[in-house]
Structure 1
Amino acid sequence: MYCISKKLEISAAHSLQLSYESKCSRMHGHNWQIEIFLVSRDKLNEDGMVEDFTHIKKAIHSKMDHANLNEIFDFNPTAENIGKWIVEQFDACYKVNIQESFGNTATVIDENKIKGIEFIVK
């Protein structure tokens, strides 16, 4: 089994559509810390990788870095929803940690991608 992770940072702004009053409903920005986890049971791509680290960074940065997330996504850009979107971008991605600010981290795990794989998800 092969497991890789990629850490990256993006700067992006968003406002949240919430069912309650919150300062987060106003436009504001974060320096998001993102860690992306990918796994392959027994095979690597033709280049000998689960996924090229550069491709992972480019896929996220080209869409999100220095962007207004409300303008690029058709969903409420919460950390949880952004994490779900990232998991969906890579077939081998099963987990994303996305920290919008110190102490505020969302973890998204796609259990369907790790069914039958025996390892501890940390």
Structure 2
Amino acid sequence: MVPIICLLLCWMAPPLQGLEIHDPDEVEYIRFNVTAQAGGSVTLDCGAVLPDIFFWGFTKPGTDNNVALAHNYGKGSKLQPQASDLGRLQLNSNTSALVIEDLKEDAAGMYTCQALYDTDEGAKITFYFTRLEVTDS
């Protein structure tokens, strides 16, 4: 758990200057299972409140490779070019939810949203894990 937190915090160091994380060992992990049909659409949640900073990643079953899909460092959401391999991805404005339309069968796997919230008590980090199963159309 600590290496993941270090990786996240080290990767986010420049945008986090000025944020104080009081207890980096207190990280919340939330898990979802979602089933969607190939060719359809699905919305993957990353919390009910828009995080100050978030990153979406995807891991294909049977691999350890986490592919970056989208992020928002506080300057607006951006999709990564490799995200199109899963379907037509979008991030709706004022949310961190990842929407996949024209869902491809290869989109099945684990989606991870790493969310950072700047609170009065310091930074709060939450990981949202969503296992997506894609069924035949």
TM-score, normalised via structure 1 length = 0.32
Q: What TM-score results when the alignment is normalised by the length of structure 2?
A: 0.29
Larger RCO (CA under 8 A, 6+ residues apart): 2
Greater helix percent: which structure?
1
